[in-house]
Structure 1
Amino acid sequence: MLVAFSVAPAGRGERSGVDDSGSVSAAVAAAIAVVRESGLPNRTDSMFTTLEGEWDECMAVVRQCCEVVGHYGSRVSLVLKADIRPGHTGELTGKVARIEAALGAPPAP
């Protein structure tokens, strides 16, 4: 499965969730560290982080991310979208490659 998610703090927590500019980048960086330490295939862009793996392992990582971000605020906002397709792997890059091929462009590195 692929899970695309975004997690951010709100309110006050043990650590300040928002810097003077309104950025929550410290909290998001803590969540992305959890993702990378998981060992699951992943990709982060400006809006979402996408994981690839089995249901239980993906959801465990999302939960850990929410817990880490919870230290930065009294609330956590989570946006999640999943593509559940049993028996398929390599879709983190495979889906993009198929679209690029359909557009006639060389695949991204």
Structure 2
Amino acid sequence: MLAAFSITPVGDGESVGEQVAAAVQVIRASGLPSRTAASFTELEGEWDEVMEVIKHATDAVLAVSNRASIIIKADIRPGHTNTLNEKLESVERHLMS
């Protein structure tokens, strides 16, 4: 499973970097392949693993914020791994042809 998700603290003003960093620490500590960008984090693993990390990352945000909004997009493709990188590599190959 490849999940792209965003956990946004709500009601904490314009700058939420500190709250988001709490979530990113949990995600990185999970050991699952991940990539964090400006608006979303991508996380790859089995369904239960990914959802557990998202839950713990949300709990980390809620420990420093009163409210959170979560967006999750999932690509579930049994039998495939390393889709975090392979999808980008495929696009790059097509751009080069």
| Range of TM-score over shorter length | over 0.9
Give the corresponding residue for 1:5: 5
Count matched residues: 97
Structure 1 segments (4+ residues) deviating >3 Å: none
Give the corresponding residue for 1:14: none
**Identical pairs, percent:** 49
Larger Rg: 1
- In structure 2, distance between residues paired with 1:72 and 1:7: 13
Structure 2 unaligned residues grouped into runs of 5+ = none
Deviation string, structure 1 residues 51-85 (Cα, Å, up to 9, x no partner): 00000000000000111101222211101100000
* SS of corresponding position for 1:72: coil
- In structure 2, distance between residues paired with 1:80 and 1:39: 19
- In structure 2, distance between residues paired with 1:88 and 1:57: 15
Q: TM-score, normalised by structure 1?
A: 0.84
Structure 1 unaligned residues grouped into runs of 5+ = 12-16
RMSD over equivalenced CA pairs, Å: 1.2
- In structure 1, distance between residues paired with 2:44 and 2:60: 20
